[in-house]
Amino acid sequence: MRLTLINVIVAVVIAIAFAAVNAAYLVWAERRGAARIQRRPGPNINGPFGLLQPPLDGIKLMAKQLTIPGGADRILFIIAPILAMFPAITSFVTIPFSETIVAKNMNVGVLMIFAFASLGSMSLLIAGFSSRNKYSMMSSVRAVSQAVAYEIPMLITAITVVMIAGSPDLMEIVRQQSPSILHWNIFPLLGNSHNILMPLAFLIFFVCTLAETNRAPFDLGEAESELVAGFHTEYGSMGFGLFFMAEYANIVIGSCMTTILFLGGWSCPFGLFPGVWWFILKLYLLIATFIWIRWTFPRTTIYGLLNLSWKILIPLSLANLLLTAGLIKVF
């Protein structure tokens, strides 16, 4: 497909629409899910099942005034929420939802998505730094140390998958997993590697996705009980709205990547009717797990968080990388 300007604009508009709709309705799903787990009904007043709640919340946020605290760095303060949303939307452009539904497939898709994902923590740093607020500052320091700690095992497991597929092209990675569930990277009995430790790699990747998106139990960046609201303490109006949307867009990106790298993308477990619906099903199952985890576990401490990464995830993912390399060489 030749990439014209029109193609790019259409792709970006669709990406923004997809991200925004997902962000809005994942907030609804999250609130309903949390309520069910805590045995209350959740938002159910506005519209059927409270489905009008997200647009009404959006309207409320847009109607608010964006205040910039005195002494804050005005330029960085305004750039930070935009920088939070930008990588999330850009990443959607290269994610293949099916054989045909992809805005622009790149032969280095994995690399591009992780490059943009690491930009996300940059926005947290800028937001916390420019707010001139001790809580925001603390939060951004935490967010950065967390991002550094969790990007390493995440990239190592991603490299394992890239090694198995022999290509960093997302389409190619999915194609190699296509034949059946036994070719999926989470449980690869057939296929390239025969590595029985891959479920572990999947777990590591999933935990890292939780940490990268600053979700509970790793939401130290915005620990309400300690840091008011962390890096977005000083943000109101759509500044806050953008951070909020970026969080959910990042969840979608993380779940898309988990689906593509480990769960066979758009392929069907039994080779039946491969297509975008399988991708969507896997994607939303993962997102539901995200929500489920958030309302099950309490927040970890910063030490627990860093210990988990440096003492457990990194050694295990390195061991898995070595084992996979050996197995690929043998078979």
Residues in touch with another protein (CB under 8 A): 33, 35-41, 44, 292-293, 295-297, 312
Shorter beta-carbon distance to another protein: residue 42 or 265: 42
Closest separation between CB of residue 182 and another protein, Å?
Answer: 24
Closest separation between CB of residue 287 and another protein, Å?
Answer: 15
Shorter beta-carbon distance to another protein: residue 292 or 310: 292
Closest separation between CB of residue 307 and another protein, Å?
Answer: 11
Closest separation between CB of residue 313 and another protein, Å?
Answer: 10
Shorter beta-carbon distance to another protein: residue 40 or 329: 40
Q: At 171, list the tokens.
A: 């389409």
Shorter beta-carbon distance to another protein: residue 86 or 295: 295
Shorter beta-carbon distance to another protein: residue 114 or 295: 295
**Full 3-state SS string of the chain:** CCCCHHHHHHHHHHHHHHHHHHHHHHHHHHHHHHHHHCCCCCCCCCCHHHCCHHHHHHHHHHHCCCCCCCCCCHHHHHHHHHHHHHHHHHHHHHCCCCCCCCCCCCCCHHHHHHHHHHHHHHHHHHHHHHCCCHHHHHHHHHHHHHHHHHHHHHHHHHHHHHHHHCCCCHHHHHHHHCCCHHHCCCCCCCCCCCCCCHHHHHHHHHHHHHHHCCCCCCCHHHCHHHHCCHHHCCCCHHHHHHHHHHHHHHHHHHHHHHHHHHCCCCCCCCCCCCCHHHHHHHHHHHHHHHHHHHCCCCCCCHHHHHHHHHHHHHHHHHHHHHHHHHHHHHC
Closest separation between CB of residue 308 and another protein, Å?
Answer: 9
Shorter beta-carbon distance to another protein: residue 8 or 312: 312
Closest separation between CB of residue 291 and another protein, Å?
Answer: 10
Give the chain's end-to-end CA distance (angstroms, integer).
36
Shorter beta-carbon distance to another protein: residue 2 or 39: 39
Shorter beta-carbon distance to another protein: residue 45 or 272: 45
Decide: residue 31, CB within 10 A, 0-12 exposed, 13-18 middle, 19+ buried: middle
Closest separation between CB of residue 212 and another protein, Å?
Answer: 19
Closest separation between CB of residue 206 and another protein, Å?
Answer: 12
